[in-house]
Structures are given as structure tokens and as C-alpha cells.
Amino acid sequence: MMQTLYVELGERRYPIYIGSQLDIATLLSPYLPNKQVMIVTNDTVAPLYAKTYEDALQHLGKTTATCILPDGERYKNIECLNLIFDALLREGFNRDCTVLALGGGVIGDMAGFAAASFQRGVDFIQVPTTLLSQVDSSVGGKTGINHPLGKNMIGAFKQPNIVFADMAQLKTLPLRELSAGLAEIIKYALLGDIDFLIWLESNIDELVAGDEEKLAEAVYRSCAHKARIVANDEKEHGERALLNLGHTFGHAIESYLGYGTWLHGEAIAVGMVMAADLSCQMGLISAEDVERVKHIFQRAKLPIRCPNIPIDDFLNYMSHDKKVLNGSIRLILLKSIGEAFITNRFDINMMKQAILNHLEQ
Amino acid sequence: MMQTLYVELGERRYPIYIGSQLDIATLLSPYLPNKQVMIVTNDTVAPLYAKTYEDALQHLGKTTATCILPDGERYKNIECLNLIFDALLREGFNRDCTVLALGGGVIGDMAGFAAASFQRGVDFIQVPTTLLSQVDSSVGGKTGINHPLGKNMIGAFKQPNIVFADMAQLKTLPLRELSAGLAEIIKYALLGDIDFLIWLESNIDELVAGDEEKLAEAVYRSCAHKARIVANDEKEHGERALLNLGHTFGHAIESYLGYGTWLHGEAIAVGMVMAADLSCQMGLISAEDVERVKHIFQRAKLPIRCPNIPIDDFLNYMSHDKKVLNGSIRLILLKSIGEAFITNRFDINMMKQAILNHLEQ
């Protein structure tokens, strides 16, 4: 079982292979012009999957080395990025090499930024091993690291040569991370595809239970949705901003709690609930719509409230988000369930209320 | 007196203004869409010129901040790069900001890489204040930082909105740095323009003496040469590699001595002499041609020998250079004076001899 999706970016067009038990060596071979391959992974994923990839690459006659970073969003920083550069140079890798990211979104973001920056750009392959990274970071080319004053503040746009999303690797994923991935999948439904939301409402229990065929379908539909948007708007000048539904609120939660305390998917689930609440206060969607949003997140075992963050701190962290244009906050809100839009016209007090309504008491 | 040169890169086309006492505010205004401008400079240049730029920008209604880094190639590292990100975030700069590099090549490279990476890319303006950076880093978009295991190993291609090369700022430049800039100017003559070499041989004394009109002419001809090559080959797949004449040897010298001990221009002067020597041994140019190369460097007050580096160390550092393709060293050599070519076909013993011939005893 395998589906192939192409991200259409002209000469940087690349395929995403989605399936179970993918044959790595055969699929990789046409996309690996270089002899040197650096596998970047973390200390959770390495013991599970690194050897499989090392063996497959060596079978293809490649020279491999593996750079193992500590696992966690809190290590998505400039110091750990530098460990990748250290490994590349220590192993004598030159500009004709490939960086292969084997891990979740943090590994994909860091390895991708390293591939964009090492020798001003080398080849890049992505093997996302979490549901979140399969639907999120495998399409779009956004890479980067965090800074103590903000998330993803430093980075590059870097497109991979190829992406592998293997559902069999999700067997080892903690349930909490599976749910975090579902948050991002639900996001695609809420922002632009009511039919997908109906499909998710019918299949959410199987998805939470780890049904590989349903997961592959959900990943395929999410990636296809994102790929279409990204192909239209690679550098995020317009439509692509819609993908940030729930993110400005969510980033504030993650920043305040410290990166890695909450999973990204958990934070944006609450962020989407806040965006829905504000949309409801503005008369765009109904109270029942807000309940529907909350309900799908609850069934996906996701939070719909966040810890009691002081409102001024919350607003301060929101204003550090990248979606701030010339000092004014731009939000992604819902015109209806299944249709998002971007705006900087909203009542700040309503926004505060939407936040306060979803803080734990 | 002002000349304008356009670097033709499609939608990223930009002008270089070359002259004396340029009117900053008037010239900058059309190229500054953003309100926030971060001036990145160093502790040598800041006391001389920072206030002029701050005043001009404030006169245009811009919000400015100034990030002052320590002066020197040894600070072109990831830690100092991070100081720029710290400043941008501390000052609340967002993705609609401009980074203005005010300084030599080190500042241009670091500020450019920061502009390429901050928020995955913001606007960039270059004001090179050394002769070397006026002819070298102001055209081509190469930015980056050093790593303990190699020079310029980490970076990005980033084109500026505009470049100002003001000869009046060279008055405060140490003579040793003026000579280092002349090394890069002579390089353009050697690799592709015999007429320019003849002009340089007639005017080298005035250039060394700091004649602003002659310097502007030399900068214009060098930038025009580089701009033509870069427009043909932005990402260095072919012809652009010729610009590295003397650089693989030169980088080994800089790496061995520690970045900043020798100036880049000094190292590549010796590197070009070594490349000429090897070209002579291969029967491509005559012994008189090699003497002609040495003579122009000597008249420009540049070294033609380097300290006595153990040959194995020298070769080891050369193999860390980026011009290594799949393990084999590619060199830029001379077919004739005024015509360079790239090759990986040369006798390694001849290369060693070319190095040994130009080490101090």
C-alpha cells in the first residue's frame, strides 16, 4: 500500500511517498545523487530506526554518518544546530552531500536548516517519524530553530528532494504525540475542507487507535491540501498564512510554558478553540460550531484549555509571533467551519475574552 | 561623481552606487519599504560612520537600532551571528524589517546571513566600508560564517536591495587593508581581463596612495566583471568558480594561521602566486608571466610568500575547502595571463612544489 503525492514547485518539485513498510533503498535510490549521507536523528528515534536507514544507504554504496541530537523541542536551538555542522565537518562532508532527517518536526526543522546553510546549501531528504511531522513539516519547506525570545525565529525555506511517510513507524509513537498529529490534521479540515471534517468525525476513533490505513488516508488528504496551498504561495505572501490557524495563540502558550512542555499539536488545538471562540464572538460562526470544534479535539484526546497564563504575558508572547505585520497582530479566523481567513481587524477585548474563556481556573 | 551598476538577477536585480560622499538618505529612500532598520556594524566602524547612517535613516522616518560586533575575522562565528538575532528580537523587530550591513566583508557576510535567516528572510542593504568588501562581497550574494574546521562553511545566498560603495570612507582604512582590497581587484584582471591588468600596472601607485577617482574606477571595473559572471551563474555551478582564483591555497593559509592573522586579500595574493607557479610548471604560462604576477602584487604592497606551513597541514586544509568535489581538489589555474579555468587534472607533486616555492624559509 503506497500513495505518491507531488509537491509542485517547478524545478524543486518533489514526491512524498505515503504508505506502510516502504522499501527505502529502492525508493531513495533515484533521489540520491551524492555519495555522502548524514543521517540527523535524535536519541529516541536512533535506537528504533537509524540502523535500518544506515544499512539501506550502505547497500546503495553510500558513505553514511549519523548525528544523534537530544530529543525535544527545547533542543531546537542554535547550539544543537551547530552540533550538526560539527558532525558534517568532522566527517569531512563536502558540498556534494545529502542531509537525511530521521525524526519528528524538530529534527526535520533543524536538519533542514542545516542542509540549507551547510556550504550554503546541500541536498535534503526527509523521513518524518511522527504523525505531526508527516502532515506538517514534510510539505512546505519551512525549516529553522527557536530563539529564547520566540519560536522558529531563525531559519530558511528549504525543499527536500523526497519525503517518506511510513505509517509503520507510528507504532512506536506515544499516544500523546499521535493526538498532537491529529490536531494538525483536524486543522486542514477546519480551515478549508468541511468534507474532510465529516470524514474525520466518522473515523476519529480508528485514527486514535492507530489504524494504519486510515492514518495514511488522513496524511494523504492533509498533505495534498497543504501541497496545493504551498504550490500557490511558497513564501507565504497570502493564502499560505491560513495554515497558521490557531498558531498565534498556540505559539504564545508554547513560549510561556517553555518549548517542549506542551506539544505543538496540543498548543494549537487550544489555539484553534480560541480562534473559533473569537470568530463566534464576532458573529461569524455559531456557538454550536464552537462546540463542534471542541468536540472533535476532545475525541482526538486533545486539550481544549491551557494553564492559567496571565493575560498580559499571553498577549506579549502573541506579539512576538511572526504573523505580526508592522506591529499589528494578524489572526486566522473562521468565516465558517471549513473556511478560514486572515485579518487584523478584530476587537482586542473580544480576543482577550476568547483567551480567558479557555484558561484553566 | 557617481556611477551606478546593476546586478542583473531577474526580480532580485539591484543597483550598486559607486562614488564619493554619496547622499545616503536620497539614494536609500526608494529601497527601504520597511520602518524598522537594524544597522549591523563593528566597534571600529561604528564610531566613524554609525551616527551618519542612524541620522539619515531617522530623517527618513525609520526606527533604527544598532548592533555593534567586535571587529575581526575571528568573530565571524555562530556566537556573534547569534548576537544579531538577540538584538533583532530584543528590539522587537519583525519579519518586515531591514538589516543594513555597515562594515567590511565580515560584517557583510554576517549581517547578510542574519538577514537571510531571521524570520526565514528579511530585507538587506549593504554599505561596504573596505576596498575588499566593495569589490568582493557587494556582488554575488554569498553570506555566511566560519566554523573552527573551515572558512565560510555555513551560510546562505542572499541578495541585497542595494549596495553603497563610498570611496570617501576608504580614507580611514588602514593601508594594509587597502592593499588587501587591491589583491581582489588584481584577481579580476588575472582571471579574465588583460586590458584591466595593463590599466592596473599603469595606475597601481595612485591606487595604493588612495586616489579616490582611480579607486572608484577600479571598483567599478571589478564589480562589473563580477556582476556579469554572477548574473550568468548565480549559484556557482560553472563560470563563477573562476572567481576563486587563489582561494583554495589562500583558505589553507588563513585556516592554518587562524582566521584574522592574515587578511583574506593577503592570503589570496600568495594563493594566486601559487596558482600561477603551478600553471607555469604545467607549461600553460611562462616564467615571465609568473614574475609579472608577483610584480603587480609587490607594487600593491602585498606578500608573495607565506609563513613556513608544514606541507601536509597545508594540503589537509586545502581538502577542507568547499571547492572539493567528491574528494578531489578542483583548482582555478591560468591558461594565460587574463584567462583562468577550472580543473581537477594536475600533478599533485607539482602542486606541492608550487606551495613549497612560496613558503618563507
Examine the pLDDT at A326 and tell me if it is beyond 90. Answer: no
Selected residues 149-208 of chain A with any CB under 8 Å from a CB in chain B: 149-150, 153-157
For chain B, what is the mean pLDDT? 93
Task: Please count the structural domains in chain A.
Answer: 2
Q: What residues make up the domain containing B331?
A: 175-356
Cell numbers representing residue A228 in the block: 496545493
C-alpha span between A220 and A59 (Å, rounded): 29
Tens of pLDDT, residues B126-139: 999 999 999 987 78
Per-residue confidence band for A83, with pLDDT thresholds at 50, 70 and 90: very high
Cell numbers representing residue A67 in the block: 548525528
Examine the pLDDT at B108 and tell me if it is beyond 90. Answer: yes
CA dihedral of B62, B66, B67, B69, whole degrees rounded to 10: 140
Does A305 qualify as catalytic in the annotation?
A: no
Q: List Cα–Cα distances, B324 to B256, B311, B320, B342, in angstroms.
A: 18, 18, 7, 12
Q: Are B275 and B245 in contact (CB under 8 A)?
A: yes
Question: What integer is the mean pLDDT of B152-178?
Answer: 95
Q: Do A118 and B322 touch (CB under 8 A)?
A: no
Residue A328 near chain B (CB below 8 Å): no
Q: Where are the alpha helices (DSSP H) in chain A?
A: 24-28, 51-59, 78-90, 105-117, 131-135, 175-192, 194-208, 212-232, 247-257, 264-281, 287-299, 311-319, 348-356
* Residue B205, domain CATH: 1.20.1090.10
In a domain, B193, yes or no: yes
Q: Do A154 and B90 touch (CB under 8 A)?
A: no
Examine the pLDDT at A323 and tell me if it is beyond 60. Answer: no
Which residue from B minimizes the CA distance to A81?
Answer: B78
3-state secondary structure of A351: helix
Examine the pLDDT at A35 and tell me if it is beyond 80. Answer: yes
C-alpha span between B150 and B322 (Å, rounded): 9
Examine the pLDDT at A153 and tell me if it is beyond 70. Answer: yes
Does A358 qualify as catalytic in the annotation?
A: no
Examine the pLDDT at B319 and tell me if it is beyond 90. Answer: no
* Residue B110, domain CATH: 3.40.50.1970
- Please check whether residues B200 and B124 belong to one and the same domain: no
Q: Are B361 and B308 in contact (CB under 8 A)?
A: yes
In a domain, A289, yes or no: yes
Chain centroid, CA B191 distance in Å: 16
- Please check whether residues A265 and A127 belong to one and the same domain: no
In a domain, A244, yes or no: yes
- Please check whether residues B226 and B340 belong to one and the same domain: yes
Q: Do B157 and A92 touch (CB under 8 A)?
A: no
Q: Which residues contact A16 (CB under 8 A, 6 or more apart)?
A: A4, A5, A6, A7, A138, A139, A162, A163, A164, A165, A223, A227
Which residue from B minimizes the CA distance to A77?
Answer: B82
In a domain, B361, yes or no: no
Examine the pLDDT at B235 and tell me if it is beyond 70. Answer: no
Examine the pLDDT at A51 and tell me if it is beyond 90. Answer: yes
- Please check whether residues B116 and B254 belong to one and the same domain: no
Highest average pLDDT, of B25-39, B77-91, B227-241, comes from B77-91
C-alpha span between B128 and B107 (Å, rounded): 9
Which residue from A minimizes the CA distance to B82?
Answer: A78
Task: Tell me what pLDDT residue A138 has.
Answer: 79
Per-residue confidence band for B9, with pLDDT thresholds at 50, 70 and 90: confident
**A145 contacts in chain B (CB < 8 Å):** none
Pick the residue with more confidence: A327 or A74?
A: A74
- Please check whether residues B223 and B195 belong to one and the same domain: yes
Question: What integer is the mean pLDDT of A48-69?
Answer: 96
Q: Domain end: B172, B206, B221, which one?
A: B172
Checking ipTM against 0.90, whether it exceeds it is no
The CA R_g of chain B, rounded to the nearest whole Å, is 20
Q: Do A156 and B121 touch (CB under 8 A)?
A: yes
HEC string of chain B equals CEEEEEECCHHHCEEEEEECCCCHHHHHHHHCCCCEEEEEEECCCHHHHHHHHHHHHHHCCCEEEEEEECCCHHHCCHHHHHHHHHHHHHCCCCCCEEEEEEECHHHHHHHHHHHHHECCCCEEEEEECCHHHHHCCCCCCEEEEEECCEEEEEEEECCCCEEEEEHHHHHHCCHHHHHHHHHHHHHHHHHHCHHHHHHHHHHHHHHHCCCHHHHHHHHHHHHHHHHHHHHHCCCCCCHHHHHHCCHHHHHHHHHHHCCCCCCHHHHHHHHHHHHHHHHHHCCCCCHHHHHHHHHHHHHCCCCCCECCCCHHHHHHHHHCCCCEECCEECEEEEEECCEEEEECCCCHHHHHHHHHCCECC
Task: Tell me what pLDDT residue A75 has.
Answer: 94
Question: What integer is the mean pLDDT of B101-121?
Answer: 97
Pick the residue with more confidence: B324 or B27?
A: B27
- Please check whether residues B197 and B71 belong to one and the same domain: no
Task: Tell me what pLDDT residue A327 has.
Answer: 56
Task: Tell me what pLDDT residue A137 has.
Answer: 78
Task: Tell me what pLDDT residue A260 has.
Answer: 67
Task: Tell me what pLDDT residue B67 has.
Answer: 98
Tell me whether residue A172 is annotated as binding: no
C-alpha span between A67 and B114 (Å, rounded): 25
Question: What integer is the mean pLDDT of A182-191?
Answer: 97
**A154 contacts in chain B (CB < 8 Å):** 85, 117-119
Q: Are A100 and A38 in contact (CB under 8 A)?
A: yes
Does B142 qualify as catalytic in the annotation?
A: yes
Examine the pLDDT at A82 and tell me if it is beyond 90. Answer: yes
In a domain, A321, yes or no: yes
Q: Do B85 and A153 touch (CB under 8 A)?
A: yes
Selected residues 231-250 of chain A with any CB under 8 Å from a CB in chain B: 235
**In which order are the strands placed within the sheet that holds A36-42?**
A2-7, A14-19, A162-166, A123-128, A97-103, A36-42, A63-69
- Please check whether residues A151 and A183 belong to one and the same domain: no
In a domain, B295, yes or no: yes
- Please check whether residues A154 and A181 belong to one and the same domain: no
In a domain, A324, yes or no: yes
Among A102-111, B63-72, B142-151, B278-287, the minimum mean pLDDT is found in B142-151
Does B292 qualify as catalytic in the annotation?
A: no
C-alpha span between A125 and A99 (Å, rounded): 6
CA dihedral of B295, B296, B298, B301, whole degrees rounded to 10: 170
- Please check whether residues A179 and A139 belong to one and the same domain: no
Task: Tell me what pLDDT residue A235 has.
Answer: 64
Tens of pLDDT, residues A265-308: 999 999 999 999 999 999 999 999 999 999 999 999 999 999 99
Q: Domain end: A130, A148, A172, which one?
A: A172
Question: What integer is the mean pLDDT of B67-80?
Answer: 94
- Please check whether residues B117 and B191 belong to one and the same domain: no
Q: Do A326 and B35 touch (CB under 8 A)?
A: yes
Q: Domain end: A172, A195, A225, which one?
A: A172
| The amino acid at A222 | S
- Please check whether residues A181 and A294 belong to one and the same domain: yes
In a domain, A150, yes or no: yes
Which residue of B37, B63, B94 to mutate against A (max A Cβ within 10 Å)?
Answer: B94
C-alpha span between A147 and A153 (Å, rounded): 6
Q: Are A160 and A107 in contact (CB under 8 A)?
A: no
Pick the residue with more confidence: A259 or A349?
A: A349
Q: Do B117 and A155 touch (CB under 8 A)?
A: yes
Question: What integer is the mean pLDDT of A157-174?
Answer: 95
C-alpha span between B196 and B182 (Å, rounded): 13
Cell numbers representing residue A265 in the block: 499539536
C-alpha span between A87 and A97 (Å, rounded): 13
Tell me whether residue A184 is annotated as binding: yes
**A322 contacts in chain B (CB < 8 Å):** 94-95, 119
- Please check whether residues B263 and B329 belong to one and the same domain: yes
Examine the pLDDT at A361 and tell me if it is beyond 80. Answer: no
Q: Cα-flanking dihedrals φ and ψ of residue B95, to 5°? A: -70, -10
Task: Tell me what pLDDT residue B234 has.
Answer: 65
